[in-house]
Structure 1
Amino acid sequence: MQSIWTESSQRLNFKSLKGDVKTDVLIIGGGMAGILIAYFLEQAGVDYMLVEGKTIGDGITKNTTAKITSQHGLIYDKLIHDNGVEKAKQYLDANQLALKRYKEICENIDCDFEEKSAYTYSLSDRIKIEREIKAVYRLGLVAEFIEDLPLPFKTCGAIEFKNQAQFHPLKFINAIAKNLNIYENTFIKELGENAVITNAGKIIPQKIIVATHFPVINKHGMFFLKMYQHRSYVIALEDAQNIHGMYVDEAQEGMSFRNYKNLLFIGGGDHRTGEEGGNWKELRGFARKYYPNAIERYAWATQDCMTLDGIPYIGEYATNTPNLYVATGFNKWGMTSSMISAIILSDMIIGRDNPFEELFSPNRSMLKPQLLLNGVAAVVNLLKPKTKRCPHLGCALTWNKVEQTWDCPCHGSRFEKNGDLIDNPATGSLKK
């Protein structure tokens, strides 16, 4: 199933790499983060190249709901509690800066950019919403409590962030990528100490940025323990409702909503990759109940990397890799996180100080309960006596009967029924 973004945009075409090349900066991955990093490096006059194993925007980016917002659920009260006011404010400031940069770039391009309010609602806990509003006020942003929402069910209220935005992600990528130094259908086979080996030649870079959604290098960074992947689903309904904003449930298993033109997007059905969840069945049941006359026009699914503390990993890949960088762990908020990645990493490449570098550092302390849970899940699935195993680290795969794929419950790699690779961190298909 294809998203509306894929159906309603024309794809750019870039050449494949042929032969050996040298570059100052190699960006691996042509999703939103990689493209934005390339865009900023191009503006700064840095010698770079971006390689994408398939085509740009063809990974997770094409399946986003494309909300550009600083409101990431009820995160700020938690950030203050866990990290203190100063770091919570840095997180807010970074996302507000990302929103501002999108607005500036989108002024001159056609990508269906619209300013909208963003709302996080609760079905059962008004106090959570009130606590979040107080937290946001402490950080210097005005947010309002909204009693009644234009949703077809009763809530306990919501927190509103005004002047947020939504857009068409592939139209945006196509507009900014036209003149960038991009190579498509150039698959990375091996990252050596001095060279990167592709399916069509060798690249000798001075610095490497890994923007592949889930990092593909295992011997550094321990990302396979510091993250897990989560799937969620979307349906787009015609003749449903104009809700005049972007909405998300504060509960992880809840639903999200936004409009695009004459369509209403309903997102939800979430579950950890490799496990079972509500998927499209849950969303379609909701649509039948609340929008019985609506027509489903599109349905798609996406996958998100979830970090241990709710903050992305952006910066040096590991403490011992000074010329290797990463952008990952966007926790379902890939649009602002991609822009933050581009801001931080382009500054690091140029040698310019960035006030957010420490907050997002992949090498910050990760002694969190989820670290143990991720480790236990990996061990359990490694020991399962199954024949279908993930080539990433050997975990037993589970059959996803809804999407007809083989999914890894350890780290989220996914494969077609015939074994072809869909999602990383695996870098190759299943053995036939």
Structure 2
Amino acid sequence: MVVVIMNASVWTNNSNVTEFNSLQQDIKTNVLIIGGGLAGILCAYMLKQAGVEYTLVEADRICSGITKNTTAKITSQHGLIYDKLIRKFDTEAARLYLQANEEALNKYKELCHNIDCDFEIKDAYTYTLEDNNKIEKEIAALKETGYAAQREDMLSLPFTVTGAVKFPNQAQFNPLKFIASIVKELNIYERTTVRELIGTTAVTDYGKITADKIIVATHFPFINKHGSYFLKMYQHRSYVIALENATDVNGMYVDEAKKGMSFRNYENLLLIGGGDHRTGKKGGNFEELESFAKQHYPNAQIKYRWATQDCMTLDGIAYIGRYSARTTNMYVATGFNKWGMTSSMVSAMLLCDLVQGKENPYEKVFSPSRTILRPQLAVNGFEAVVNLLTPTFKRCPHLGCALKWNPIEHTWDCPCHGSRFTKEGQLIDNPATSDLKIKN
């Protein structure tokens, strides 16, 4: 196999997003949005449409973080989630979760109708390699919510599956082309890092932003004294390769297994995702994907490869709403569990209502203040304790966990909360807000 590798996503080579100035003075605004990924940008777009004064600030360039590394599947099918939601909550919660994500999908269809962003209607499939019972349970759960899902046993993949759940008429697109179109008239400041929050006043290097309300859309929330997000979430790393001269699979596919693979096409490329692991731990990474491609697509060439990471919640539902039960005028959008496209749109629709004092039918489902008594809480707590007690000079400036060297990507990674740093100590991924001090 000939490998022509770019360590950047296919989207970054196929879009041209507008640049914005940095903040140079004190300003006032009704709503301050911190974070210029897809969720923050959609919040800004929705607020502008609603006639609400807002300002968005981004520490680097907009979409320079996780958004540029998505596989960009727009679907309300988030793995085999609906059976789990009914068991953890109830049928009504599962129905509202589905309805919220269907509304998000339809909003994309509406917005993308007149945008050149390679938008395509595609069917989505969640498949299993071994557990047919899971497929049957998911279809039954979806029937309870009122959604007529379909079962499939033959897929356009290079291996045999035991079964799959099909969601017809979902979508995929180029996220950066989409963003490039909708940001042009938005009020955005790039390279403007929020150093401190004093109430609802944000302090940056060259000016203060006095706001009535704040939306934190920074991927992993950076304010530790409220919300306990450092206990409620961890980050999960995954990898993608884009193959030229490979099969058109004519759909979007994801394995129900935690360490399974995902597939979709973009133009003449086949995107394969997988190699997953908790950030700071070992996993299959690119080697697993390249081995799979060599076996199943021996005549293909790898044109791009990239990695990303996602915030994972305790119960599989994103945290969207009031930052915590004790904070007023502060909101959050985080924990998208690998489904950032529809979750970002749900965030924008929900938060746009909340900051205007409007009721929203999905507020309770996504409330960040819902119960944290889930098995994953113990796992997160154990990881934190172990890494806090691990003796090392290289510690994360976020909460002091011991950093692990990532030999594949040559980075220092935090297994507690997912912050990442270059070999030289420069911050790559939050929740840390400062560079690492490397001791010789």
Q: Same fold (TM over 0.5)?
A: yes
Contact 2:31 2:213 in 1 (8 A): yes
CA distance in 1: counterparts of 2:350 and 2:17, whole angstroms: 28
C-alpha distance in 2 between matches for 1:143 and 1:319? 36
Where does structure 1 differ by over 2 angstroms across 4 or more consecutive aligned residues? none
Q: 2:356 aligns with which of 350, 355, 363?
A: 350
Give the partner amino acid of 1:189: R
Shift of 1:81: 1.0
Aligned partner of 2:430 in structure 1 is 424
Paired residue for 2:104?
98
Q: CA deviation at 1:190?
A: 1.0
Q: Is 1:118 equivalent to 2:118 in the alignment?
A: no
1:160-175, aligned counterparts within 5 Å? 160-175=166-181
Paired AA for residue 338 in structure 2: K
Q: Which residue of 2 aligns with 1:144?
A: 150
Name the SS of the counterpart of 1:188 in structure 2. Answer: coil
Q: Is residue 269 of structure 2 the alignment partner of residue 240 of structure 1?
A: no
Structure 1 distance, partners of 2:209, 2:17, is 26
Residue 190 of structure 1: aligned partner: 196
Equivalent residue number for residue 329 of structure 1: 335
- Give the counterpart of 1:294 among 295, 300, 303: 300
Equivalent position SS for 2:195: strand
C-alpha separation between the residues in 2 aligned to 1:140 and 1:115?
22
Within the candidate set 276, 283, 304, 1:270 is matched to: 276
Which aligned pairs between 1:34-53 and structure 2 lie closer than 5 A? 34-53=40-59
Shift of 1:157: 1.5
Aligned equivalents of 2:98 and 2:247: distance in 1? 31
Root mean square deviation, CA, Å: 0.7
What does residue 402 of structure 1 align with? 408
Once the two structures are superposed, residues 212-244 of structure 1 have per-residue CA deviations (whole angstroms, 9 ceiling, x without a partner) of 000000000000000000000000000010000
Q: Name the amino acid aligned to 1:17.
A: L
Corresponding residue of 1:176 = 182
Amino acid at match of 1:12: T
Other-structure match for 1:381:
387
The question of whether the paired residues in 1 share the 8 Å contact of 2:426 and 2:435 is answered with: yes
User: Which residue pairs with 1:371 in the alignment?
Assistant: 377
What letter corresponds to residue 88 of structure 2 in structure 1? D
Shift of 1:194: 4.9
With the length of structure 1 as denominator, give the TM-score of the two structures. 0.99
Q: Structure 1 CA distance, aligned partners of 2:62 and 2:184?
A: 11
2:128–2:135 CA contact under 8 A, matched in 1: yes
How far apart are the structure 1 equivalents of 2:74 and 2:249?
17
Deviations 1:38-88 (A, max 9, x none): 000001111110000001111100000000001011000111111110101
Q: Tell me the percent identity.
A: 65
Of the three residues 51, 60, 65, the one matched with 1:59 is 65
Residue 214 in structure 1 maps to residue 243 in structure 2: no
Q: Does 1:19 align with 2:6?
A: no
**What's the CA shift for 1:193?**
2.2
One-letter amino acid of the counterpart of residue 45, structure 2:
Y
For structure 2, list consecutive stretches of 5 or more residues without a partner in the other structure.
1-6
User: Please, what TM-score do these two structures have when normalized by structure 2?
Assistant: 0.97
